[in-house]
A = this chain, B = another copy of it.
């Protein structure tokens, strides 16, 4: 799992400015990214400019321009910052329980007000830089979640050759599909139903590569 940890360095070439964590650089980043989220939540992508973000953050516009360049750079940094945490997937003791708890977190995020997570997904259709950061974030989240499947295999609840990524996508995709694309209202049963579907399919061998029969 590749985590985008503490400070692996966005600005590679120039000598790092006094980079005490919690120092001025970090404080400005926090202010600016908070401002991006707030603007996005209130006005969506169309209300977002480096100037409105600078004004809201209380920093000089050239600071924003120099460090983030444009709206795409700001959005990408919000997404990268979102992955820069200690989040671990739920551990409830069962595959279906873990997937249900995970889906509940996803449903909460996708239906939160203001709708920042959905606004970031929408923005990823507008900015290639945001799209790539969104992909990095999802990649990181799915990689962290693979432990859910590993644990189930170790418990003997799943065949060892289970493809963790496909299982996780089957479990979570209906949430994104219904809440982001089909725009159906949130349904308290949805997280559990999608989890149960994936767990039943997994137990029936849906995520074991068919080619693994070559020795049989």
Task: Give A contacts to B, CB under 8 Å.
Answer: 121-122, 125-126, 131, 135, 138, 166, 169-170, 172-174, 176-178, 180-183, 193-194, 196-198, 200-201, 203-207
Contact = CB atoms under 8 A, between A and B. Distances in A.
A176 B176 CA distance: 9
Report which residue of A125, A135, A196 has the largest number of chain B beta carbons within 10 angstroms of its beta carbon: A125
Task: Tell me the interface secondary structure of chain A in the complex.
Answer: helix
A118 B125 CA distance: 9
Given A182-B138, A204-B203, A193 B174 contact: no
Enumerate the 6 nearest inter-chain pairs by beta-carbon distance, A residue then B residue, closest first.
A173-B177, A122-B125, A173-B173, A201-B201, A200-B204, A197-B206
B166 A193 contact: yes
Given A173-B174, A204-B204, 5 more contacts: A122-B126, A125-B125, A166-B197, A170-B194, A176-B181
26 contacts: A121-B181, A122-B125, A138-B181, A166-B193, A169-B174, A169-B177, A169-B182, A170-B170, A170-B194, A170-B197, A172-B177, A173-B173, A173-B174, A173-B176, A176-B181, A177-B177, A196-B206, A197-B198, A197-B201, A197-B206, A197-B207, A198-B201, A200-B201, A200-B206, A201-B204, A201-B206
